[in-house]
Structure 1
Amino acid sequence: MNTSDTKWSDLAVRMGSATVLVIVGLAGVAIGGHAFNVMVALICGLSVWELVRMLTPRTPAVAWQLALLSGVALLLSGYLPAGWALPVLLAPMMVGFGQLSQHRTIFMSYAVLVQLAGFGMMSVRDELGFGWMLWLVVVVVVTDVVGYFAGRMIGGPKFWPRVSPKKTWSGTAAGWVGAAVVGWITMIVTGATSELIGISIAISMASQMGDIAESAIKRHMGVKDSSTLIPGHGGFLDRFDGMMGASVFLLIVGQIIGFPPGLV
């Protein structure tokens, strides 16, 4: 098999899994309400399960307990006033700190991001509606897809070879361009100001940071994928790490700059 074949060897499986994820994800976003909240809670709960399995693989019972607790806490937070939702979101991390015997700091830091990301996604869908949730998803997906193809077609210097050996600067930059195009189109459709283009690029960068953070954890723990739950993609953390980074960023920055720009 030549080098070109190797580059694209996983494309069919990846595309098949991605198609299923897109269909289910879009259905959840479109339906919204309880269905969307349950979907997000399930994804985040499974992500916590994968995280604990990577950090302490010999404690499967603890992984399931923390996953269930995290998922339930996140789901409840979506129906509570924000002030009461925050301690509910953080409670599973405190429980995990007491149950895990090692890598507690990594667990607490990353699990908090998972919970905040889930809360951010539910907030965007509930408060801003289908259109803006779709914008967020499309920015992250385009960043990933454009970066994937550009990185393999153009190649060039690696972004951070020790942590993420497949990522290139060409793919990274191409993701920003793709996000800018999404922002420009959304600006025209919604009547938002041109700041949306800059925000879209920043969201793209935040999604890449989420990806890099998860890659660093995997490299530190000596594992290739967070799990094997999604064929061709690894686990839910592998697939949704970018979405989590983007969602947390929007949750924080949206309170500072006023979002959507020009429409609030």
Structure 2
Amino acid sequence: MVSDQGSSLPSNSKPAPSKELTARVLSALVMVAIALLTAYWGGWPFALFWLAAGIAIMIEWTRMTAVEPRLPVQGVLAVGLAVLTALFLANASLSVFIAAGLLFLAAGTLLARGNGNRIWAASGFLYALPIVLVPPIVREHPELGILGLLWMFAVVWATDIAAYFTGRTFGGPKLCPPISPKKTWSGFMGGVVAAALGGVLVAWVGQKFGLGLPFGLLGTAVISVVASVASQIGDLGESALKRHCNVKDSSHLIPGHGGVMDRLDGFWAVCLIAAAVLSTIHSIP
């Protein structure tokens, strides 16, 4: 979660700050290690890692929004995400891929009870899709590959860490009090600056090893800033959803971080930026 200087909802019992930070750091280190290891492997281990993340996000989404009947809807949507991952690994045609996605989207949506539940079920599936598909696509892309993936990680992690600590250190005016009362503009700006530096550093180190991002160092800095802003907007969007659903965390799966949505809300937004970058690359003759 980006620029998380405090939860968006009050809690009756909060752990001691030192214990909370310790749990947060240890959990983050474990997740970083798994993400980097699977990224190095690529292929099906990496795709399955993000499939698991996407299914967890879909389950948290449908649970928070009280979709009914919950388990049947979650089961259909989870199978749909798994089928799309299998089709990606099998290099299926785009038409087959789109047809399968629409089929499972329609099935899960129609299975939900009432218009409100159907909207939440459909949006949960669509929200999970970028997490499931974009990282494996970037990893396998000939012009982005593992360096593009490391750029995504660096931008999100730099934004997260810098926003957290600069916000707590400098405080100041609130970023968006109605949604997340403890996030500050100082944290926001600290995250943006750190993301630009982190993104350029990844691109520069990549050049030293004969790898490169397709936009050069200056272009990478600009895209990193855009991605950092998107990451923090994604965080605020998830905070708004939690306020709407009157929950503190999307789940309690990850110690110190809450749920998978809480951890990947910013990365989800950067996945959208990466998808836009992919579209731009393909549009250049």
Aligned twin of 2:195: 179
Q: Secondary structure at the match of 1:162?
A: coil
Equivalent pair of 1:74/1:115 in contact (CA under 8 Å): no
Q: Which stretch shifts more, 108-117 or 190-199?
A: 108-117
5+ residue gaps, structure 1, are: none
CA RMSD of aligned residues (A): 2.4
| CA distance in structure 2 between the partners assigned to 1:74 and 1:212 by the alignment | 28
Q: Secondary structure at the match of 2:227?
A: helix
Identity %: 32
| CA distance in structure 1 between the partners assigned to 2:93 and 2:233 by the alignment | 29
Q: Which residue identity is paired with 2:171?
A: G
Q: Which has the higher contact order (CA 8 A, sep 6+)?
A: 2
Pairing of 1:106-255 with structure 2 (within 5 A) = 106-127=120-141, 128-189=144-205, 190=207, 192-255=216-279
5+ residue gaps, structure 2, are: 1-14
Shift of 1:94: 2.1
Equivalent pair of 2:200/2:217 in contact (CA under 8 Å): no
Equivalent pair of 1:147/1:171 in contact (CA under 8 Å): yes
2:87 maps to 1:72: no
Q: Which stretch shifts more, 183-192 or 157-166?
A: 183-192
1:122-169 alpha-carbon deviations (Å, 9 max, x no partner): 110011322221111111111111111111111112211221223211
| TM-score using structure 2 length | 0.81
Q: Which stretch shifts more, 179-188 or 45-54?
A: 179-188
| TM-score using structure 1 length | 0.88
Equivalent pair of 2:147/2:203 in contact (CA under 8 Å): no
CA 1:90/1:204 → structure 2, altered by over 3 Å: closer, same or farther? Answer: farther
Aligned pair count? 256
| CA distance in structure 1 between the partners assigned to 2:104 and 2:65 by the alignment | 16
Equivalent pair of 2:67/2:117 in contact (CA under 8 Å): no
